[in-house]
Amino acid sequence: MKAPLHGKMMEVPLTVSSLLAHASRHFGTTEIVSKRIERDVHRYTYRDCEKRAKQLAQGLIALGVEAGDRVGTLAWNGYRHLEAYYGTTGFGAVCHTINPRLFPDQIAYIVNHADDRYVLFDITFAALVDVLAPQCPNVRGWIAMTDEAHMPRMSTAASSYEALLAQHDGDFEWPAIDERCASNLCYTSGTTGNPKGALYSHRSTVLHAYGASLPDAMGLSARDSVLPVVPMFHVNAWGIPHAAPLTGAKLVFPGKDLDGKSLYELIEAERITCTAGVPSVWLGLLRYVKENGVRFSTLDRVIVGGSALPPAMLRTFKDDFGVEAVHGWGMTEMSPLGTLSTLNCEQAQRSADEQRRLREKQGHVVYGVDMKTVGASGQALPWDGVTFGELYVRGPWIIDRYFRNDVSPLVDGWFPTGDVATIDNDGFMRIVDRSKDLIKSGGEWISSIDIENIAVAHPAVAEAACIACFHPKWTERPLLIVVKHPDLDLSRDDLLRFYEGKVVRWWIPDDVVFVDELPHTATGKLHKLKLRERFGDHILPPDQKVEQ
Ligand code: ADP
């Protein structure tokens, strides 16, 4: 066979530093705005950011950090954290973002497993660092992201980030790096077992940033003012800190105040057009705007992912506030973007009901991701919107292995997500459940997500979780655990009646337990494991007549 003809194009590596270099050169005066821990607002530009990221790189190199070394961060969304994203990866080190909401023991495990050389931390986490430091003997230094004047009192010998930067002038060229080298490291939250590391490469990160920016993904552009509410310690804030410099969008960081009032005021003050985060933060924002009778003047779309977007929330955003809620799905192992629920021309001509049904799903893939659902014997399932099976994915920004683990998680080249889903004729995927959260009643499956979505559509329900509860005849039956709106009345029977006509009879939960609050994981999802431990043996009322 004839040898293929090679293209005659430049081989420019896809490096993370090139994203910031591009923004600094071509959108040099575009702003990056941060609410600081100190509660003031900090403003500078992409050009300033690149200079300081270079100062940080010089500082870390002077401290002996080498290409391939991991540098941890324990920080909120802010400009110094952004500098850390680029000041580490820019010279070949790996930016390891650590979720501070995990238990200290888990964090210590992660820091040690990653073998972090240095850890940069926001001063809010000073006490946490004092707990971690004795457990992490291989960390050479802990660097507080503040100036000398604001250094916290600590038992750990920490140094000041600003003092480190002040020793360097930023006169530094980002070195050429092989695009297959590691750039970022994120651990899954490990609700079961130890956390596992997803080690992204420069190439996968840049490709993901391209994918995330596409019009039918987050649709970012230089006309946007984007607010990542999703934390930078949670899968790189879904890629926004990379996609914003790629597109030249203005970046706004909320710091640590994620309550409805703080978010609303920031959205208005900085003329935010696009924001992204998990459903629980939007509950707070929507409550604030409703209670105060205020409107959004610039907000165009909210990317909602991490957990299922309740249909009631989608409707409220659209019908009451004219804001598009775009449902997205992904996971740490996928950098994280997989699917988004934007419509094509033909779908946008369908009836309002049909459009809504599509938008409620987790959506279509972004180029770069392929997906399929498989049955029990590994066979590919039809795309009929009804048949469900385990969701498998593959693509250039999906992991091949976990960090420091030689066992491949792949099955025939595909990554099994652990989610159970349907795919319809339009290529829209719907997550039925996480496989471990599905409720198996008498051998038939019930989707806990569907049961929760109906509950939160009831005006008196603030939040709801559905778990499997032991049943002597059916093995498992659904139990609903509910947080009521404080000023509204709701009884168990009212809520169970609300299900009639919305699901088949045997899907209706057997009982309802009212609680003051529901436990959440470190990434803001319902902590089903904890709920199962607490309520899995709840005694169900005897008069239940389930007919399947
Ligand atoms: P973890 O919470 O385990 O750390 P991730 O943050 O990577 O992991 O979460 C990935 C998982 O979150 C997915 O596999 C899926 O179960 C769930 N998830 C993410 N987005 C959605 C969504 N839009 N709807 C339903 N589930 C989602």
Tell me: the pLDDT tens digits for 443-460? Answer: 888 999 999 999 999 999
Asked whether 419 lines ligand 1 (CB < 6 A), one says: yes
The pLDDT of residue 39 is above 90? no
Asked whether 335 lines ligand 1 (CB < 6 A), one says: no
Which has the closest alpha carbon to 388: 404, 372, 399?
372
Give the contacts of 476 (CB within 8 A, at least 6 positions apart). Answer: 439, 440, 441, 468, 469, 470
The pLDDT of residue 184 is above 80? yes
Token match 């309740």: residue?
310
Tell me: the pLDDT tens digits for 86-102? Answer: 999 999 999 999 999 98
Q: How far is the CA of 308 from the centre of ligand 1 (A)?
A: 8
463 is catalytic: no
Choosing from 440, 444, 502, 533, the catalytic residue is 440
Specify the ligand 1 atom closest to the Cα of 525: 2
Asked whether 307 lines ligand 1 (CB < 6 A), one says: yes
Rounded average pLDDT over 194-203: 95
Residue 471 forms beta bridges with which residues? 475
Residue 545: pLDDT band with limits 50, 70, 90:
low
Asked whether 341 lines ligand 1 (CB < 6 A), one says: no
Answer positive or negative: Cα dihedral of 283, 285, 290, 296: negative
Alpha helices, DSSP H only, in 331-446?
Answer: 352-360
The pLDDT of residue 191 is above 70? no
Specify the ligand 1 atom closest to the Cα of 328: 23
Asked whether 99 lines ligand 1 (CB < 6 A), one says: no
Residue 546: pLDDT band with limits 50, 70, 90:
low
Sort residue 248 into left (φ over 0), alpha (ψ -120 to 50) or beta: left
Q: Which of 419, 437, 521, 530 to mutate to test the pocket of ligand 1 (most atoms within 8 A of CB)?
A: 419
**CA atoms of 61 and 111, how far apart (whole Å):** 20
How much is the pLDDT for 38?
A: 73
Token pair recorded at residue 447: 């989707």
417 is catalytic: no
The pLDDT of residue 388 is above 90? yes
Asked whether 332 lines ligand 1 (CB < 6 A), one says: yes
Residues in the chain: 548
Specify the ligand 1 atom closest to the Cα of 332: 7
Choosing from 179, 333, 390, 463, the catalytic residue is 333
**CA atoms of 326 and 365, how far apart (whole Å):** 13
Q: Would you say 87 and 53 are in contact if contact means Cβ atoms under 8 Å apart?
A: yes
Rounded average pLDDT over 368-379: 95
How much is the pLDDT for 179?
A: 98
Asked whether 522 lines ligand 1 (CB < 6 A), one says: no
Rounded average pLDDT over 301-314: 95
Choosing from 188, 247, 273, 332, the catalytic residue is 188
**CA atoms of 427 and 362, how far apart (whole Å):** 10
Token match 């996480």: residue?
434
Asked whether 106 lines ligand 1 (CB < 6 A), one says: no
How much is the pLDDT for 543?
A: 54
The pLDDT of residue 484 is above 60? yes
Task: For helices 202-213 and 16-26, give the axis angle rounded to 10 degrees.
Answer: 50
Rounded average pLDDT over 344-365: 97
Specify the ligand 1 atom closest to the Cα of 188: 4
Tell the residue nearest (CA) to atom 9 of ligand 1.
331
Q: How far is the CA of 233 from the centre of ligand 1 (A)?
A: 15
How much is the pLDDT for 444?
A: 86
Specify the ligand 1 atom closest to the Cα of 431: 25
247 is catalytic: no
Q: How far is the CA of 306 from the centre of ligand 1 (A)?
A: 5
Rounded average pLDDT over 67-80: 98
Per-residue DSSP letters for 130-167? HHHGGG-TT--EEEESS-GGGPPP-SS-EEEHHHHHHT
Domains of the chain (ranges; CATH) run 27-256 (3.40.50.12780), 437-535 (3.30.300.30)
Q: Would you say 190 and 527 are in contact if contact means Cβ atoms under 8 Å apart?
A: no
Asked whether 431 lines ligand 1 (CB < 6 A), one says: yes
Which has the closest alpha carbon to 338: 402, 398, 421, 411?
398
**CA atoms of 382 and 438, how far apart (whole Å):** 21
Q: Which of 525, 526, 527, 530 to mutate to test the pocket of ligand 1 (most atoms within 8 A of CB)?
A: 525
How much is the pLDDT for 548?
A: 57
**CA atoms of 158 and 152, how far apart (whole Å):** 9
Asked whether 188 lines ligand 1 (CB < 6 A), one says: yes
Q: How far is the CA of 236 from the centre of ligand 1 (A)?
A: 14
Q: How far is the CA of 523 from the centre of ligand 1 (A)?
A: 9
Token pair recorded at residue 119: 């850890």
Sort residue 491 into left (φ over 0), alpha (ψ -120 to 50) or beta: beta
Q: How far is the CA of 467 from the centre of ligand 1 (A)?
A: 17
Tell me: the pLDDT tens digits for 232-251? Answer: 999 999 999 999 999 999 99
Which has the closest alpha carbon to 164: 260, 53, 287, 254?
53
Choosing from 31, 445, 506, 530, the catalytic residue is 445
The mean pLDDT of the chain is 95
Residue 523: pLDDT band with limits 50, 70, 90:
confident
Helix (H) or strand (E) holding 24: helix 16-26
Asked whether 415 lines ligand 1 (CB < 6 A), one says: no
The pLDDT of residue 395 is above 70? yes
Tell me: the pLDDT tens digits for 420-434? Answer: 999 999 999 999 999
Tell me: the pLDDT tens digits for 248-298? Answer: 999 999 999 999 999 999 999 999 999 999 998 999 999 999 999 999 999
Residue 1: pLDDT band with limits 50, 70, 90:
confident
440 is catalytic: yes
Residue 539: pLDDT band with limits 50, 70, 90:
confident
Rounded average pLDDT over 301-327: 96
Tell the residue nearest (CA) to atom 26 of ligand 1.
307
> Of 20-24, 102-106, 382-386, which range is least confident?
102-106
**CA atoms of 74 and 121, how far apart (whole Å):** 5
Q: Which of 307, 333, 452 to mutate to test the pocket of ligand 1 (most atoms within 8 A of CB)?
A: 307
Residue 103: pLDDT band with limits 50, 70, 90:
confident
Tell the residue nearest (CA) to atom 24 of ligand 1.
308
How much is the pLDDT for 542?
A: 73
